[in-house]
Homo-oligomer: A and B are copies of this chain.
């Protein structure tokens, strides 16, 4: 029994209880119709510590749309396939702009700032797709998620995927725009088909925290013992999560939470306490930057109680 295990259990339980009571819960994303009807009363949290033990509370087993959190995993997959050549078509600097801005693309000739804004994640998907059929690429991404979470039941919510495909005009715009600069290699509808579908993967906090373990432990999943990536690569993915994981609210997340993290417009956040834990929270209401409002508050409380900030403990 590790020294802080009792702390963690009560911290998780108390934070979950506190979040359930909060009045100000943010607003659900309205631009994806299928997500607009999710209950903002939901709150889930799951923490996997260094021994692989899971501490969870609230709606921790209810699947939700992971949306942009999938970008962490597609980045990992793409780096595995094309290595550092990936950085020829996408940067790794914070953008200073909202998640779907097109302005930066015009100035920088179609090269997105980082893999976690929409344009950058679409480029990453395009790199995974290269030379394959959309169905194959999507299958590969899904199997990778199942492998990481050690759970074959993870699947794609086709209603959400279809909803985005019907309404995602801005993503179609971004992709065609990059295509006009030669940055996108595959047909736009192929790349976007895969992108919309991997964003529509549904996972619970528990599954997500499991999948994130390799980032907390130098590339290795301590439960399965699988080595997913080299230590250097795990650190580097964490650095990109820290710098760019919350769009134009990345500075705020670093300031308040002090961990690498990636949010999704479905209300989830995956956070990584290097050497200590992989954490997933879910609260569907969003703040003005499109990040989970209560998710961030819960992570701030957890990090403070556990002394997990990478900026000093």
Chain B positions within 8 Å of A258 at CB level: 235, 239
On chain A, the number of residues with a Cβ less than 8 Å from chain B's Cβ atoms is 57
A251 to B310, CA, bound (A): 16
User: A19: CB under 8 A from chain B?
Assistant: no
Binary interface profile of A, 94-110, with partner B (CB < 8 Å = 1, else 0)?
11110001111111000
User: A66: CB under 8 A from chain B?
Assistant: no
Closest CB-CB distance, A84 to chain B, in whole Å?
11
Chain B positions within 8 Å of A102 at CB level: 102-103, 105-106, 173, 177
In the complex, which of the residues B177, B216, B239, B251 contacts A169, with contact meaning CB atoms closer than 8 Å? B177
User: A288: CB under 8 A from chain B?
Assistant: no
Most buried by B among A102, A107, A275: A102
In the complex, which of the residues B96, B103, B311, B312 contacts A93, with contact meaning CB atoms closer than 8 Å? B96
Which positions in A face B, CB cutoff 8 Å? Answer: 91-97, 101-107, 113-114, 169-170, 172-177, 179-180, 188, 215-218, 231, 234-236, 238-240, 242-244, 248-252, 254-255, 258, 260, 274-275, 309-313
